[in-house]
């Protein structure tokens, strides 16, 4: 027996079974109809419109095409991310998170102040706030490209200052302790941890990697789609070669197969990585911090800032320059070059 959804006054689905809900209401005898999206959002907007009408608040001057909601723009942004970006899963989760507060809002009504206040309320770090600002901007930018909205209010939302002065990375003793715990409890995930630390690949780069991109003869990984849009080769040292060989012994390894298969949420690294961090007593550290460990160890080893930029795939040398303070011996050596050799005395 198929259950039918309970009808709500002034709310209906059109066409039936589409998941697209509309609202219908009258104000001073004038009929108003709006396309919303989800049923829950339609009910919420209907109640808001009736409340505004009872309070005598002016209703928006709706025109043809103005009935686009933020939820619809978010859905378009997610579709764009799935096609063009490596981080589509993040966009899917953000679209769900903004839904209760902003999903039913008509896109043309949204102001920069409203977006800024939502970000301030829901985002606890500057980095997270800037990610949501970027998501809102993508929503409205795609809306403009598709002719659904005229402006992008997210462009006027201020960027938060991200404090990057202190980059958390592992000391060698911390790495050894953490590695031992992972090998003991989750040996099947140990290769992914080693490769993350010793290549500095971004999470999206590593977990979209296929065996066809791994060249064991040339000892490189070929990344064709990266965050900054530029392809690069990732050199493989002995640690990463051993890890890849171990991984190849346990998963399918045809050219099109994933090096690190992630069939669903259960394969997410967090469920095993976070407990290992807690047991090791390592705080303030995330999977992305493995990339900081990679760059920091390079700097400590005396690798130049330009080389770090190339190896890590930073778009600008300023990103790599954050690790310069970790190589004081190299800086001192460079400074010493200013001292001219003593002029030989003449008789």
For position 64, what pLDDT does the model report?
46
For position 281, what pLDDT does the model report?
95
Ranges of the chain whose pLDDT falls below 50? 1-4, 63-65, 264-266, 346-347
For position 14, what pLDDT does the model report?
75
For position 163, what pLDDT does the model report?
67
For position 3, what pLDDT does the model report?
47
Q: For the full predicted model, state whether its pTM sits above 0.75.
A: no
pLDDT in tens, 14-57: 767 777 788 888 877 777 777 777 788 888 888 888 888 887 77
Whole-number Å distance between alpha carbons of 243 and 48: 57
For position 203, what pLDDT does the model report?
87
For position 174, what pLDDT does the model report?
94
pLDDT in tens, 307-331: 999 998 888 888 888 887 776 665 5
The rounded percent of the chain whose pLDDT value lies above 90 is 42
For position 129, what pLDDT does the model report?
92
């Amino acid at each position: 027996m198929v259950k039918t959804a309970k009808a709500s006054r002034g709310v209906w689905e059109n066409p039936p079974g589409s998941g697209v809900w509309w609202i219908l209401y009258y104000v001073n005898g004038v009929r108003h109809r709006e396309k919303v999206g989800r049923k829950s959002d339609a009910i919420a907007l209907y109640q808001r419109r009736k409340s505004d009408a009872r309070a005598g608040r002016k209703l928006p001057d709706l025109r043809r095409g103005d009935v686009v909601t933020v939820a619809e723009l978010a859905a378009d942004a997610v579709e764009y991310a799935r096609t063009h970006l490596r981080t589509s899963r993040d966009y899917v989760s953000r679209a769900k998170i903004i839904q209760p507060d902003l999903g039913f809002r008509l896109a043309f009504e949204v102001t920069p102040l409203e977006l800024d206040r939502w970000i301030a309320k829901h985002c606890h770090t500057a980095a997270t706030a800037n990610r949501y600002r970027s998501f809102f901007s993508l929503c409205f930018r795609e809306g403009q490209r598709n002719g659904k909205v005229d402006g992008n209010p997210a462009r006027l939302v201020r960027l938060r200052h991200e404090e990057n002065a202190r980059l958390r990375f592992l000391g060698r003793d911390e790495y050894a302790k953490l590695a031992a715990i992972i090998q003991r409890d989750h040996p099947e995930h140990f290769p992914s941890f080693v490769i993350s630390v010793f290549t500095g690949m971004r999470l999206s780069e590593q977990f979209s990697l296929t065996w066809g991109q791994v060249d064991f003869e040339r000892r490189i990984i070929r990344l064709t789609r990266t965050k900054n849009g530029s392809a690069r080769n990732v050199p493989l040292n002995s640690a990463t070669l051993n890890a890849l060989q171990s991984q190849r012994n346990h998963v399918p390894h045809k050219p099109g197969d994933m090096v690190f298969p992630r069939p669903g949420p259960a394969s997410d690294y967090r469920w095993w990585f976070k407990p290992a961090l807690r047991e090791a007593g390592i705080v303030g550290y995330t999977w992305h911090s493995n990339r900081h460990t990679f760059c920091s160890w390079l700097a400590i080893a005396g690798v130049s800032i330009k080389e770090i930029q190339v190896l890590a795939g930073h778009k600008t040398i300023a990103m790599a320059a954050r690790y310069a303070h970790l190589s004081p011996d190299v800086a001192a050596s460079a400074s010493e070059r200013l001292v001219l050799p003593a002029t030989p005395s003449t008789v």
